[in-house]
């Protein structure tokens, strides 16, 4: 006898499909990447073109979605071993590898194509980001702590991608945006690697610089946090071309940096998972607020 689904069951199935689609493409992470790209665009654009802004947002989402879908295909067997990933669509059996691959491929084409409409340089950097994340960072995660260094390259591209989309140029300004987000990746991901250490260990991932939650790792977290803060203040020196910040903005960024650095020093002192998680949350707040301050300062200074 043919079964007939009740309306409520149909709704649940649709909700589950949407949830799995959101998880395979990591919508929340995609939103943060799109936010960075938009911030970079607003910093570089002499006038705002909302059509370009929309294409940048869509292209950024497709780019991140493709990278994450490929990542989950490659790591599907390892994901079954870790508590935080075992319920992802592929290891949980709710989505086939073939379906995930179709999504990843479609998103790659849509992402690069959309960014190409903006300008070829933007598409090139988008393609480089996908390639490095999938072909270099992902396979290195189980082999060496240097994977974080490799992963910092595609992770730092979105902020500068917005500037390139706005100006069709990669110069000192875009390079500075890249450098800021590049150094920021280290305390952010090492904090994640610290408080998820046991779970990562189940999957064979080696994310911490020393492979241990020790003084050496904590020292590097503090150092890279300090470099992130110092890089964030470079635009105040007037040596980064068209990318400048006012004295008031520099003071606010400096205070924000002190807050970030204090969180890193606390991890150095306590060396526990709770403090590491707090540092991770602080790092996300830092980069988000920093980008907002840069953009607001630009438009208030006009």
Q: Which positions ≥6 away from 219 have C-beta within 8 Å?
A: 268
Domain 1-169 class in CATH: mainly alpha
Task: Provide the 10 A C-beta neighbour count for residue 219.
Answer: 14
Give pLDDT, residue 301. Answer: 80
Outline where the chain has alpha helix (H): 7-24, 27-44, 50-74, 76-79, 97-118, 120-131, 138-140, 147-167, 172-195, 197-203, 215-233, 247-270, 273-301
Per-residue pLDDT of the chain (302 residues; tens, 9 = 90+): 444 445 444 444 555 888 898 899 888 888 899 999 999 999 999 999 999 999 999 999 999 999 999 999 999 999 999 998 999 999 999 999 999 999 999 999 999 999 999 999 999 999 999 999 999 999 999 999 899 999 999 999 999 999 999 999 999 999 999 999 999 999 999 999 999 999 999 988 888 998 889 999 999 999 999 999 999 999 999 999 999 999 999 999 999 999 999 999 999 999 999 999 999 999 999 999 999 999 999 999 86
Interatomic CA distance for residues 127 and 33, integer angstroms? 15
Tell me what pLDDT residue 14 has: 53
**What's the confidence (pLDDT) of residue 12?**
47
């Amino acid at each position: 006898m043919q079964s007939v689904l009740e309306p409520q069951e149909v709704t649940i199935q649709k909700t589950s499909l949407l949830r799995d689609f959101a998880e395979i493409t990591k919508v929340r992470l995609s939103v943060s990447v799109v936010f960075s790209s938009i911030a970079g665009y607003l910093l570089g654009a002499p006038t705002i073109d909302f059509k370009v802004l929309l294409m940048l947002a869509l292209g950024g989402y497709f780019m991140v979605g493709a990278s994450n879908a490929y990542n989950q295909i490659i790591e599907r067997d390892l994901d079954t071993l870790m508590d935080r990933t075992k319920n992802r669509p592929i290891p949980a059996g709710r989505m086939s590898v073939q379906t995930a691959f179709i999504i990843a491929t479609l998103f790659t084409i849509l992402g690069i194509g959309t960014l190409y409409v903006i300008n070829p340089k933007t598409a090139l950097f988008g393609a480089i980001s996908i390639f490095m994340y999938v072909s270099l960072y992902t396979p290195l995660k189980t082999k060496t702590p240097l994977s974080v260094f490799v992963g910092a390259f595609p992770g730092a591209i979105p902020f500068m991608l917005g500037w390139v989309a706005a100006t069709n140029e990669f110069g000192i300004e875009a390079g500075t945006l890249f450098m800021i987000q590049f150094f920021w990746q280290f305390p952010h991901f090492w904090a994640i690697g610290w408080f998820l250490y046991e779970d990562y260990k189940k999957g064979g991932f080696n994310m911490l610089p020393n492979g241990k939650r020790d003084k050496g790792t904590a020292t590097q977290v503090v150092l890279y946090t300090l470099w992130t803060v110092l890089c964030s203040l470079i635009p105040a020196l007037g040596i980064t071309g068209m990318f400048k910040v006012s004295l008031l903005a520099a003071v606010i960024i400096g205070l924000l940096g002190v807050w970030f650095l204090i969180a890193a020093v606390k991890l150095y002192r306590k060396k526990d998972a709770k403090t590491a998680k707090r540092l991770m949350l602080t790092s996300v707040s830092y980069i988000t607020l920093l980008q907002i301050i840069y953009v607001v300062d630009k438009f208030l200074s006009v």
